[in-house]
Amino acid sequence: MAQKPFWQTKTLEQMTAAEWESLCDGCGLCCLIRFEDEATGEVIPTRVACKLLDQHLCRCKDYVNRKAHVPDCIKLTPWNIEALAWMPPSCAYRRLHEGRGLPSWHPLVTGDPESVHQAGVSIRDLTISEETLADPEDALDFQAPELGEDRG
């Protein structure tokens, strides 16, 4: 009988750093600029991406040092995932935290890092960089792509 993969046998808290990092599917959705409506608490995503996002690879250009460049970048951990309800429903960290397992298109399931893009769940080449905006509030003029829904 084959051994089950780590994401089916361990809690998020039990995972090694390498296992934790491998859960990222590379969709890039967490790197979109969001605004919160103070009156309703609604989170409004845009299609404006963090200046560190490589828009084709959907990966941070300087992941290790990102906090030095973007001080408000949130480091996702097993201990803060519950407080980050703005994470997309398709996010592996959120799905596992909610007990839903990985989607069929996830690279850990398929063995192919392109599967997230082929499934249409990533923001590959669909964003603009925040560096192109004269005023950060202008990001509200750019509607978020219809992505990240709970597929798979």
CA 41 to chain centre: 20
Strand (E) or helix (H) holding 118: helix 115-118
pLDDT digits (tens, 9 = 90+) for 95-135: 999 999 999 999 999 999 999 999 999 999 999 999 988 77
Residue 84's pLDDT band (cuts 50, 70, 90): confident
> Residue 146: its pLDDT value, please?
58
- Domain residue spans in the chain? 10-141
**Residue 88 is encoded by which pair of tokens?**
């997309």
Note whether 54 and 129 are within 8 A (CB): no
Mean pLDDT of the chain: 89
7 pLDDT more than 90: yes
Express as a percent the part of the chain with pLDDT over 90: 65
Q: Hey, what amino acid is at 136?
A: P
Q: pTM of the entire structure? A: 0.86
> Residue 149: its pLDDT value, please?
47
> Residue 1: its pLDDT value, please?
64
Environment class of 146 (CB within 10 Å of its CB; exposed 0-12, middle 13-18, buried 19+): exposed
8-22, 34-48, 58-72, 107-121, range with the lowest pLDDT: 34-48
Q: Which of 128, 144, 149 is nearest to 34 (CA)?
A: 144
Express as a percent the part of the chain with pLDDT over 70: 93
Residue where the block lists tokens 């046998």: 9
| Spatial CB neighbours of 80, under 8 Å, sequence gap ≥ 6 | 74
Q: Is 110 helix (H, G, I), strand (E, B) or coil?
A: helix
C-alpha to C-alpha distance for 64 and 67, rounded to whole angstroms = 8
